[in-house]
Amino acid sequence: MPKQVDHHERRTLLADALLRVAARDGLMDVSLRHVATEAGVTAGMVQHYFRTKDEMMIFALDVVAARVQARLADDPDPRRLVRSLLVQLLPLDADRELEGRVAVAYHAYAATRPDVAARLEQDTRGMRAAVADRIRAVGHAGPLEPDIAATGLLALVEGLAVHVLGGHLDGDTALATLDGHLDVAFGTPASTPPPAAPSGSRA
């Protein structure tokens, strides 16, 4: 066999270009040619690694899902674990903002593509179960059922992310809101103050 190229690496490189385009210009502007230009390659090469545009879109979604998954260091303390899981879903730095924009775009995209929707659903369900388990793990119950609390926390960060991305909310307020609801969900262990207090300003 000739040449020998790491296919997965090339596809990931193209997926990254796609994510940048999607975050900057929106999913409507994602085309074979735009992705190719962003990646600094020809459109033909993109076609070589993805037979169809949809295949490329789904691969890119898998890339971000894998990265989010990989960033999860597991923590013995349930609340810290849940918090770190949820915090990384908020667009608080440049990388998360890019991922957040991609996520919003893909949620809209999923409305028409059942397979994309399925992948998104699977991720959400997994996280919800994980959060609910951790809430159950701590004894002192809050006012909310663990399942309800977990559902609420996931939905909360989803909404906070949307509002921060839309400029309706600043990151500090989003973090404070998340921490407040973590207190509620975990039954406010006021003895153990939130792991890292938000820096300062809030508006």
Partner DNA sequence: TCCTTCACGTTGCAGTCGCAATGTAACGGA
Partner DNA sequence: TCCGTTACATTGCGACTGCAACGTGAAGGA
Q: Which does 26 bind (CB under 5 to 8 A by kind): DNA, its own copies, none?
A: its own copies
Stretch that binds DNA, among 3-11, 71-79, 107-115, 182-190 (CB under 7 A): 3-11
Q: Which of 66, 155, 196, 197 binds its own copies (CB under 8 A)?
A: 155
Choose which of 8, 24, 33, 168 interacts with DNA (CB under 7 A). 33
Q: Is 7 in the site for DNA (CB under 7 A)?
A: yes
Tell whether residue 197 is a contact of its own copies (CB under 8 A).
no
Least separation in angstroms between CB 181 and its own copies: 6
Is 101 near its own copies (CB under 8 A)? yes
Tell me the helix, strand and coil percentages in the chain, rounded to 5.
70, 0, 30
Return the structure tokens found at 1.
């066999």
- Max CA separation in the chain (angstroms): 64
Query: What span, in angstroms and rounded, lies between the C-alpha atoms of 103 and 12?
Result: 17
DSSP letters along 15-49, please?
HHHHHHHHHHH-GGG--HHHHHHHHTS-HHHHHHH
Question: Which sign, positive or negative, has the C-alpha torsion 62, 68, 73, 76?
Answer: negative
Q: Is 33 in the site for its own copies (CB under 8 A)?
A: no
Residues in the site for DNA, rule: CB under 7 A?
A: 1-5, 7, 10, 29-34, 41-45, 47-48, 51-54
